[in-house]
Structure 1
């Protein structure tokens, strides 16, 4: 049995499809209100803030995937994520399961230094601090020998469906609706973005490769790209010239006191003023047969549907 915690999110759903197509049809989907994706799926509603419910959801699992997401709310992250993770780790250890932890890059320095699996954590901001603490907790449990786990880390998403990211919400969603698009700070800095189906396929592959556990892995991305070139690809694919503006930091600063969404976004903004390069060479060397989706192919997939 392979169990996905947070199965209703974009990553959880794509992970379920990747597992079903390539590894197993014994899949358990867990969230507050899980929904079947395949006839053979088992669904278990659970509130992971409650240990007994977390333990029930995980019992009998060989592999447990942590893809739990919370709204961009610092208070909620601080209040809930540590408890959720503690309950999951305790239940995984009690059931002799393995844990595949889906992580982000919030804890990395927000400068132009390329990010590798050995990049030290330098969290700035409340959400970054929470994610650094969560990753450090898993690393410590792995080092102790109590937990068999793997950390799968991904940079900012772009993708189909209900993919949530700054790039999707400020740029892609607006352009698909025929509106002006926006990007934070600059069109000219290079960025690593991961295609969400690639992130899920790669995580399923790692989870089902026994010798890669007790390590951190950067999930695979295409060559970094500037927003200017990304927009150019959109124009080429759609055969339309789109209008896109870069929002300067001053505008974000002025709006911050009056807009909760911008307040929560603010700690991430510095990485848009620098090149943000996520290095996935370790994964590509270990799994050379894995085909990374090109930006052109991803953009074509997004814009071929309304």
Structure 2
């Protein structure tokens, strides 16, 4: 059995789809899990409770953590270290392998200009401090020989489940409403963005490859990183019915800080502005070479995303 902890979000759904290539016994764990595949096993659980985490992992060969807490620093500081400790304890207790779907917040400053698996942990934000701490906790358990685990990293992402995608919120949602697309800090800097189906497939492939364990992996992402302005153009080309004005409304760092007094998400994003005021390039060459994988191009990813959302409307 393979288990997804936090199965209801954009990544959990895509991992569940991809796992059907490897197993017919998939356990979906969340407060109110919903089937992705017909044969999925639903396991309603409060992942804040260590005893319930232990039960959720029991009987699993592989546990995938695709939890997505609300975008709030205080909540992250409170929830993430406890969750990861409980998951690691449960995986050790039940001799279960762990695959942690991670972002790249542990890598800060100019190190985001070319992100590889060997990029140093260099957090420059409170959220980054949290992610670095949980990464180190997993890696320490691996180094001690107590756990087999993978840290599978992804940059910002986009796809048909748009609620947790900043790219979709800034561009697609605004264009759909007939408003000008938005971007942070500098729309002429490149910004790698993963496509959720590729990220889900990559996570499942790693989990089911024994030799991939006890390493950090960057998940598959198109090697061409568009600028913010180019991302807007890609969406505009696929949304011809949009009556949004051309161009991009760029919110500078100081504007994020000022508006953050009134808009909670901008208050939370202010410390992450370093991902937008300089180039942000995510390099997945290690994965692509090891698995012979060709990520979906950005243009095709946008086309598929817009078509999927249009069909569901």
- Class of the TM-score when normalised by the shorter of the 2 chains: over 0.9
**1:163 CA displacement:** 4.7
Q: Counterpart of 2:300?
A: 297
Does the residue aligned with 1:85 lie in a helix, a strand or coil? helix
Q: In 1, distance between residues paired with 2:205 and 2:48? A: 28
Q: Counterpart of 1:183?
A: 183
Q: In 2, distance between residues paired with 1:293 and 1:163? A: 21
**1:275 CA displacement:** 0.3
Structure 1 residue 281 corresponds to structure 2 residue 285: yes
Q: In 1, distance between residues paired with 2:87 and 2:232? A: 40
**1:77 CA displacement:** 0.8
Aligned length: 304
Which sits farther off after the overlay, 149-158 or 241-250? 241-250
**Alignment check: 8 A CA contact 1:108 1:122 kept:** yes
**1:177 CA displacement:** 2.8
Task: Note the 1:249-288 alignment, pairs <5 A.
Answer: 249-288=253-292
Extract unaligned runs of 5+ from structure 2.
Answer: none
Q: In 2, distance between residues paired with 1:7 and 1:71? A: 15
Q: In 2, distance between residues paired with 1:238 and 1:69? A: 29
TM-score normalised by L of structure 2: 0.93
Extract unaligned runs of 5+ from structure 1.
Answer: none
Task: Note the 1:3-18 alignment, pairs <5 A.
Answer: 3-18=3-18
Structure 1 residue 26 corresponds to structure 2 residue 25: yes
Does the residue aligned with 1:12 lie in a helix, a strand or coil? helix
**Alignment check: 8 A CA contact 2:171 2:235 kept:** no
Q: Counterpart of 2:209?
A: 209
Which sits farther off after the overlay, 124-133 or 154-163? 154-163
Q: Counterpart of 2:99?
A: 100
Q: In 1, distance between residues paired with 2:246 and 2:113? A: 31
